[in-house]
């Protein structure tokens, strides 16, 4: 009877040990993700370690050159002016292209083929091209066509230097995670620093940089300016000081149109409550392996040696599995990220933007996995020590019995 009971206890102890290994490995990921993924410091560290604040102006400059230098409407009219498109034109394009092709072309994920271009031509002939703010677009195109990536970089740096960009970014992250952690009902962006910068010397310097990048004014352009008409050109140096008050006035008007702050997240429904409930379960996940360990202890632990063995071996196995899984997580995520960021990126996104996003995502994943590797290593070492100690006690006991 005693033997049957002992075999019964060992059987269930083995089952609980297997469940303990699965639960502890799962807990390693769930608990640490809950702690780090909802911590603003994780993302601040990633932004800082990748030098995003220093890199961003140059990357945006490259992106703006790409956006301003390509006539997307000529190359792919389906991606152009989607917000102005009539329902009739949209229905015609859907019928001509099919839903998936229409979606891909609207997002500019691939070029328009010759056959597709011929197929959609009757739609535009019948329903007409969308009515747009064409005059504003032509003015913008004229203003930006002479700008290089370096010009845009200098413009952005004049508006928001890296230090201010870092401060603003960290404030936004703090707002977002205060909201996500349930400490605030809203998350909002403050534009006060940007407005102050626009109305100060930085804003004036930025506009002057754009003006100085334009071709020199011709006599006809100067006549336009004298007649209070708009001319996109670089006036003579002698006229530049007279332009400063005008630029300051226009910037002040532009800044006044910008709100002091804008709400980006607001708790209007129960989605945040559901997310908080999932986080509570993630936070409580360590209780399950503790309960399973307690059940193993009740069933089979009778002395120091059995305690070391029945705790040590599951801890060792859990640590090794957790260590392997955490070490392969980063390469696996890198591979998964490379597919949508490289092959699935729209054509109007520059390679420098893709590289920056990839590096940032890689750094965030590294920050999330770092603690998992540490805890898995601790469990591995602890389990190994306990297992070796149980074997040593067994040998000591056998030697004592022989004597």
Centre a 10 Å sphere on the Cβ of residue 6 and count the other Cβ atoms it contains.
12
% pLDDT > 90, the chain: 16
Average confidence (pLDDT) over 134-162: 73
The per-residue pLDDT for 382 is 94
Q: What is the pLDDT of residues 177-194, one digit of tens each?
A: 888 887 888 888 888 888
Whether residue 135 has pLDDT greater than 50: no
Reading phi first (left if > 0) and then psi (alpha if -120 to 50, else beta), residue 238 is in: alpha
Whether residue 316 has pLDDT greater than 80: yes
Q: What is the pLDDT of residues 156-174, one digit of tens each?
A: 888 888 888 888 888 889 9
- Give me the residue label for tokens 């070391």: 308
Q: Which of 91, 88, 112, 86 is nearest to 101 (CA)?
A: 112
Whether residue 37 has pLDDT greater than 80: yes
Q: What is the pLDDT of residues 232-272, one digit of tens each?
A: 788 888 877 877 887 888 888 888 888 888 888 777 655 56
Whether residue 23 has pLDDT greater than 80: yes
Q: Is pTM beyond 0.75 here?
A: no
The SS3 of residue 52 is helix
Residues 112 and 127: their CA atoms lie apart, in Å, by: 20
Domain ranges of the chain: 2-45+285-394, 82-131
Residues 347 and 343: their CA atoms lie apart, in Å, by: 10
Whether residue 387 has pLDDT greater than 70: yes
Residues 111 and 99: their CA atoms lie apart, in Å, by: 16
Poorest-confidence range of 254-263, 379-388, 392-401? 392-401
Q: What is the pLDDT of residues 43-77, one digit of tens each?
A: 999 998 888 999 988 888 888 877 775 555 666 77
The per-residue pLDDT for 340 is 59
Q: How confident is the model at residue 311 (pLDDT cuts 50, 70, 90)?
A: very high
Whether residue 2 has pLDDT greater than 90: no
The SS3 of residue 234 is strand
The per-residue pLDDT for 136 is 47
Residues 94 and 15: their CA atoms lie apart, in Å, by: 57
Question: What mean pLDDT is reported for the chain?
Answer: 81
Whether residue 155 has pLDDT greater than 90: no
- Tell me how far apart the terminal alpha carbons of the chain are, to the nearest angstrom: 32
DSSP annotation of 55 reads H
Give 359 or 403, the one with higher predicted confidence. Answer: 359
Give 34 or 85, the one with higher predicted confidence. Answer: 34
């Amino acid at each position: 009877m005693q033997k049957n009971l002992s075999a019964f206890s060992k059987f269930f102890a083995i089952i609980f040990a297997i469940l303990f290994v699965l639960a502890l490995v799962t807990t390693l990921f769930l608990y640490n993700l809950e702690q780090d993924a909802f911590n603003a410091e994780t993302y601040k560290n990633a932004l800082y370690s990748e030098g995003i604040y220093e890199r961003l102006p140059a990357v945006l400059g490259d992106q703006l050159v790409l956006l301003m230098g390509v006539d997307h409407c000529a190359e792919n009219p389906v991606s152009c002016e989607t917000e102005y498109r009539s329902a009739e034109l949209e229905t015609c394009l859907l019928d001509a292209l099919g839903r998936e092709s229409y979606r891909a072309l609207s997002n500019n994920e691939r070029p328009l083929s010759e056959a597709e271009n011929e197929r959609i031509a009757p739609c535009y002939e019948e329903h007409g091209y969308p009515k747009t703010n064409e005059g504003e677009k032509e003015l913008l195109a004229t203003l930006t066509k002479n700008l290089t990536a370096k010009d845009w970089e200098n413009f952005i740096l004049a508006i928001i230097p890296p230090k201010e960009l870092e401060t603003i970014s960290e404030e936004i992250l703090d707002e977002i995670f205060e909201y996500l952690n349930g400490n605030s009902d809203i998350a909002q962006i403050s534009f006060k620093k940007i407005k102050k910068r626009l109305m100060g010397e930085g804003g004036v310097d930025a506009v002057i940089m754009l003006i100085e990048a334009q071709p020199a004014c011709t006599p006809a352009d100067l006549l336009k300016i004298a007649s209070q008409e708009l001319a996109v050109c670089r006036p003579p140096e002698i006229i530049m000081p007279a332009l400063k008050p005008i630029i300051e006035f226009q910037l002040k008007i532009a800044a006044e149109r910008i709100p002091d702050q804008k709400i980006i997240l607001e708790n209007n429904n129960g989605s945040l409550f559901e997310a908080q409930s999932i986080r509570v379960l993630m936070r409580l996940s360590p209780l399950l392996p503790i309960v399973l360990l307690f059940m193993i202890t009740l069933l089979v632990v009778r002395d120091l040696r059995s305690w070391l063995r029945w705790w040590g071996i599951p801890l060792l196995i859990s640590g090794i599995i957790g260590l392997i899984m955490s070490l392969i997580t980063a390469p696996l995520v890198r591979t998964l990220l490379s597919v949508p960021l490289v092959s699935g990126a729209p054509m109007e996104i520059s390679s420098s933007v893709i590289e920056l996003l990839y590096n940032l995502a890689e750094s965030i994943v590294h920050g999330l996995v770092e603690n998992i590797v540490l805890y898995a290593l601790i469990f591995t070492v602890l389990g190994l020590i306990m297992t070796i100690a149980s074997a040593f006690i067994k040998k000591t006991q056998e030697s004592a019995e022989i004597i």
